[in-house]
Every structure is written in C-alpha cells, then in structure tokens.
C-alpha cells in the first residue's frame, strides 16, 4: 500500500538520503592532506613560488589586506581613506617585489598579454629551479 499524506515526503526524503550516502561511500576516499580545490592549490603554489623571500611574503601579508580593505573604506569613510589604503597596500607589495627581484603579479600579466619581457620568478630562485 502506497503511503499518502505526511508519511510519503518523509519516506522519499529518507530514500534520497540513503542514495546520497551510498553514492558518497562508493567514491574513493579523499586524502585529508590534499586540498579539495586543485585550482586553488595550483594558484597558491604559483603565488608562493613568486613570494619566496620572507620579507616579500610578510610585507604582502600587510599589503594585500590593506589594499582589499580599501574597497570597504570607499563606502564607509571619506573617499581619501580608501584611496590611501589602496595606494599604501600596493606600495607595500611593490616594495616587496623590488626586494625579491620580480615584477608585480598584475604588471607581469599585463606585460605577458602585450608580449613584453617580464620577470615572473626572481632569477635567484630560477637558478635553484634549474638545479633541481
């Protein structure tokens, strides 16, 4: 006899949950040491490769949040605070890249699109990569 009324949706929900559980259990186990997002893992690996110098890495940890916070500051406080945060955030990142010896990420991308020469990874780290 077919269930009707409130029992039918509950039974369908229970069957759906069992089907999802079985589908999940039939998938190969995920290695917990590996991130779930391969594109994010690749992007982070590329970013870390371009920011090997500890000074450059840590100055980016200050400059990136400052530059991103400028978006909120444009709407919450007078406009010049937002512009100031953006300029100082990018200035910190520029100083870090000058110390490392490579181009800023945005400029390297623009230069690559225009066919101009650019320095993606500092020559001091390139020599290590060649030796590997």
- What pTM value is reported for the model? 0.64
Higher pLDDT, 115 or 124: 115
Domain ranges of the chain: 37-131
3-state secondary structure 32-49: CCCCCCHHHHHHHHHHHH
Instruction: Report the pLDDT value the prediction gives residue 66, as an integer from 0 to 100.
Output: 95
Residue 87 has pLDDT above 80, yes or no: yes
Residue found under tokens 């089907």 = 19
Residue 6 has pLDDT above 60, yes or no: no
pLDDT in tens, 21-60: 565 545 555 556 665 677 888 888 888 888 888 998 999 9
pLDDT in tens, 104-117: 878 888 888 898 88
Instruction: Report the pLDDT value the prediction gives residue 47, as an integer from 0 to 100.
Output: 86
Confidence of residue 10 (pLDDT cuts 50, 70, 90): low
Of the candidates 42, 49, 41, 43, the residue with the CA atom closest to the CA atom of residue 119 = 49
Looking at residues 91-109, what average pLDDT do you find? 87
Distance from C-alpha of 38 to C-alpha of 36, rounded to nearest angstrom: 6
Burial of residue 102 (CB within 10 Å: 0-12, 13-18, 19+) is buried
């Amino acid at each position: 006899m077919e269930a009707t009324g409130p029992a039918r949706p509950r039974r369908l929900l229970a069957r759906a949950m069992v089907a999802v559980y079985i589908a999940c259990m039939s998938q190969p186990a995920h290695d917990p040491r590996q991130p779930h997002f391969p594109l994010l893992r690749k992007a982070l690996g590329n970013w870390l490769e371009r920011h090997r110098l500890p000074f450059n890495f840590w100055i980016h940890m200050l400059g990136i949040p400052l530059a991103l916070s400028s978006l909120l500051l444009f709407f919450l406080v007078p406009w010049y605070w937002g512009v100031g945060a953006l300029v100082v955030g990018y200035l910190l990142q520029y100083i870090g890249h000058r110390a490392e010896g490579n181009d800023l990420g945005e400029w390297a991308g623009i230069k690559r699109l225009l066919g101009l020469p650019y320095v993606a990874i500092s020559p001091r780290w390139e020599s290590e990569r060649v030796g590997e």
